[in-house]
Amino acid sequence: MSELHHECGVAAVYHLPGGEVSPLCPPQGPDEVSRLMPRMLLDVQNRGQLSAGMTSYRPHRRNLLDTYRRLGTVSEAFRLNHRGKAESIMQQYAGRAAIGHVRYATCGEDDVSYAQPFERRHLQKHKWFSFAFNGQLANYAALRDKLLAEDDHHLTRSTDTEIIMHEISRELSGDRRPTLIEVMRNVATRFDGAYSLALLNAQGDMLIARDPLGVKPMCYAIEGPLLAAASESVALLNLGFRPDSIQSLAPGEAITVTENRFSIDRFAEAGRTAHCFFEWIYFANVASTMDDRSVYLSRKALGEELARMETLPKGDDLVVVPVPDTSKAAADAMAYALGVPCVEGLIRNRYAGRTFIEGGPGRAVKAAAKYTPLPEVLSGKRVLLVEDSIVRSTTMRVLLDRIRTVGGAREIHVRIACPPIIAPCFYGIDMSRIRELFAPPFVERGLPADQMFAEMAEELGADSLRYLPVEAISRAIGKPADELCRACITGEYPTSWGQKLYQVAVDNYQTHADSPAERTYEAAATTAG
C-alpha cells in the first residue's frame, strides 16, 4: 500500500518536578527528559516520513520554548547516525518537557515551513506556545475563508495546522486568561474533523487532547513523575512503561499539566465515537493496542475472515504470499486457517525510498524498485496474494506484473483484507477525490459481487480478486459498526462537513470537475457551505 499516504504522529513527554526521579528518565536527568523524544518518534515513524521535529521547555533557558524541525525521517532529522551531531541537538534543545511530531502532508506543501511543531512566540508567556497535530479539519476551507474575511488577516501556509494555531491564539487574545481546557472546549465547537494534538506553552503548561469522536488515536501513561503520550502505545511500551499503565485517552478528553500538576478533564460532551478503522487495518504499528484492541489481533482476524470466504481448491502448488509488511498478520492467519503455506514471495527493499511520499508519474517505477519477487518461491505456483487494500491500484498492477514476469507464478488470486474503498477521506488520509480511487467505477454499476470482482481482476491482470464485506470490519476489530468511522467504504461520514465534502466530491466526479491541483477540502468552502 505504498500508494496510500500516511497520517502524522504526535508524542509528548513531561517530567514533573519534585524529589522523585523516574527510572525511565534519561541518565542526564529530569531537565533533559526531551532526550526521550527521538526514541518516541522512531516508534511512530510509520505515521509519517516527510519531516520530524520537537519543541522543548526549559524554565531557565533564554528561549523558554525552543523548536527544532527538519525534513526527512527521524534518523535524518535528528542526525541519529552521527553521534556528535545528535548529541549537539539534544544538548541545545534539552528540556524537562517536550512535544514531537512526524509528518506526512495531507494538506499543505512539502517544505520545512510546514513541518511541525508550530511555534507561536509572544511577549506574554501564556500566549507563547507550540503545538503538534495529527488529523485534518473537514471544515478547513470554511475556517480559512472566515479568518481571511476578518480585518486584514493573512495566512502564509495552505494547511489546517495554521488555522488551528490562529484559533488557539484567538482564545488567548486580550486580557483573558482561560485555562487550557477552556481553550480546547471553545475551539472544539468550531472544529469539524479529526485531531489529536499536544501543546506546550512558555509557562511549562502542557495539553494533550483527542477529538470528540476519537477518530485519531492518542495513548498515554503516567508512572511516578513521568507523563508520556503518543499516537500509538508502542512508543510508550518501548520507553519502559508497564503495559497495564498505558491507556487510550477517551474521545473528547484532554490531559493538562498546569503548575506542575496533571489532570484529565473532558472538553467535549461524550457522544458517539468514530474510530478510524484503517488504524487497525493499516496505519498503526502491529505492536500497538488502541482503544483496548490489539492491532495484531485485528489483522489476524481479518485473515481468518478471508479464509472463511476462500473457495480455491487446495494443492501442493497453492501458497499464500503477503504484500509486506502490514498484510503479513492477515496472510499468516489466512494460511494457517486454510492449511496452506504462507511464504515470503515478495521481499521489500527497505532502502528504496519513501514511495508513498514521492507521488507523480514515477510512482510505478518506485513501486517496482520497492518489491522483489522470488522466482524460487513463486515459480509455477498458484499464489493467493494478500493485501491490506487497493486504493489507486498503481502498486497492485506493478506487483501483479512482476510476480508473473519475474516470479514466474502460474496464477495470481488477489485477496484484499478490506472492503472496496469507494469514497474519499477528509479526516487525515490523503485520498480526497473519487477519481483517484480504483473501485468506484466498478461499484457504481451495481453488478453482483462475483461479477464485479471478476471485472476488477481482469482490469488489474489477476486471475481472481476478492474483497472482504463491510460487516467483516467491525467483527475483526471487535467494535460495533457505529463506533467506527467507515466513511471511505460506505460513503457515510460521522461529521456534517465530512458529508458535505463527500457530496462535493460526488458532484465533481460526475461532472469531471476535479482539479488535479486541489484536494476536495482545500477548495470546497463555497461549494459545500
Q: What is the CATH number of the domain that holds 431?
A: 3.40.50.2020
Active site residue 8: yes
In this structure, the answer to whether residues 346 and 491 fall within a common structural domain is: yes
| Positions of the chain with pLDDT under 70 | 1-7, 105-110, 351-367, 513-529
Tally Cβ neighbours within 10 Å of residue 410. 13
Q: Residue 360 has what pLDDT? A: 47
pTM of the predicted structure, to 2 decimals? 0.92
Whether residue 436 is contained in a domain is answered as yes
- Whether residue 249 lies inside any domain: the answer is yes
Residues 70 and 216 in one domain: yes
Count CB-CB contacts under 10 A for residue 435. Answer: 15
Are 242 and 320 in the same domain?
Answer: no
Cα dihedral sign for 470, 476, 482, 486?
A: negative
Asked if residue 222 and residue 181 are part of one domain, the reply reads yes
> Which residues touch 453 (CB under 8 Å, ≥6 apart)?
464, 465, 466, 467
Catalytic residue of the set 8, 342, 425, 485:
8
474-508 pLDDT per residue, tens = 999 999 999 999 999 999 999 999 999 999 999 99
- Cα(397)–Cα(400) distance, integer angstroms: 5
Q: What is the pLDDT, as a whole number, of residue 512? A: 78
Asked whether residue 65 falls in the same domain as residue 200, the answer is yes
Boundary-marking domain end, from 237, 271, 305: 271
Residue 527 has a pLDDT of 38
- Domain shared by 235 and 306, yes or no: no
The answer to the question of residue 332 being in a domain is: yes
Residues 417 and 454 in one domain: yes
**CATH number assigned to the domain comprising residue 34:** 3.60.20.10
Range of the domain at 368: 294-528
Cα–Cα distance for residue pair 336/323, rounded to 1 Å: 17
Indicate whether 449 belongs to any domain. yes
Cβ neighbours for 240, distance < 8 A, ≥ 6 positions apart:
23, 24
pLDDT for 352? 58
Residue 329 has a pLDDT of: 97
Indicate whether 289 belongs to any domain.
no
Whether residue 282 is contained in a domain is answered as no
Q: Count the neighbouring beta carbons within 10 Å of the beta carbon of residue 130.
A: 27
3 state SS of 162: helix
In the chain, how many domains are there?
A: 2
Residues 263 and 307 in one domain: no
Chosen domain end from 236, 271, 306: 271
428 touches 279 (CB < 8 A): no
Statement to judge: residues 207 and 71 lie in one domain:
yes
159/301 same-domain check: no
pLDDT tens string 192-228:
999 999 999 999 999 999 999 999 999 999 999 999 9
Residue 251 sits in the same domain as residue 307? no
* Residue whose cell numbers read 486584514: 152
Q: Which amino acid is at 518?
A: E
Q: Are residues 306 and 210 in the same domain?
A: no
- Strand 293-294 with 289-290, pairing: antiparallel
3-state secondary structure of 199: strand
Question: Do 449 and 416 meet the contact criterion of CB atoms below 8 Å apart?
Answer: no
β 219-223/226-230 pair status:
antiparallel
End residue of a domain, out of 208, 240, 271: 271
